[in-house]
Amino acid sequence: MKQMKGFGLISLLLGIAVIALIAVFILPRTLGVPEGFDVPGLIQVNELGLPSKDTANAITGGRAYDAVRISHLKQFQVALELYFVEWGLYPATGGVYVDIVPNGQPCLTLMMDGYLKTCLTDPSGEAVYRFKSDGETFSIEAVLEQKDSDFCEKDANGECIHTVTEVEFLPSVFDENL
């Protein structure tokens, strides 16, 4: 009788099972999932396809939504700067804060002029971004969930506010006023 070389089906299945058990115990700790974290059933997602606020906060401590918020504010900043380059001013709100909502200012202005494809909204669905402009300057802010973040300043209520403002442009070599 010939002796077969290689692994049998049973030994391969046992090897896979051992690797799976090791992964179950080691991966959650290396990915930062807190001790005792339990997801009953499937992970719930919101309308944006992101994990629900409770699930995301349990896994990341608020860092994931805060990263999305900071990214959204940066995208608004770029769109507003492009608008400024073309029109010479920012969409004005009379210097008072307005909520950024899909059918409101400045989303409609930036989408109609092609600077944004869609209005960027808070990933939790519970908060809104706020925008203020006098035409010459602007400020966009979002409340972050991480109260000890390096990316924010505390307001009077202890909320962690991340703010993005206009970019200071250096004079261009093509500027006629030089």
Q: What is the pTM of this model?
A: 0.62
How many domains does the chain contain in total? 2
Residue 157's domain comprises: 62-165
Q: Based on the fold, state whether residues 51 and 70 are members of the same structural domain.
A: no
Mapped to the 3 state alphabet, what secondary structure does the chain carry?
CCCCCCCCHHHHHHHHHHHHHHHHHHHHHHCCCCCCCCCCCCCCECCCCCECHHHHHHHHCCHHHHHHHHHHHHHHHHHHHHHHHHHCCCCCCCCCCEEECCCCCCHHHHHHCCCCCCCCCCCCCCCCEEEEECCCCEEEEEEECCCCCCCCEECCCCCEEEEEECCCCCCCCCCCCC
Does residue 173 form part of some domain? no
Does residue 106 form part of some domain? yes
Q: Based on the fold, state whether residues 74 and 53 are members of the same structural domain.
A: no
Does residue 176 form part of some domain? no
Q: What is the pLDDT of residues 113-161, one digit of tens each?
A: 888 888 888 888 778 899 999 988 899 999 888 877 777 888 888 888 8
pLDDT band at 94 (very low <50, low <70, confident <90, very high): confident
Please tell me the predicted confidence (pLDDT) of residue 174.
47
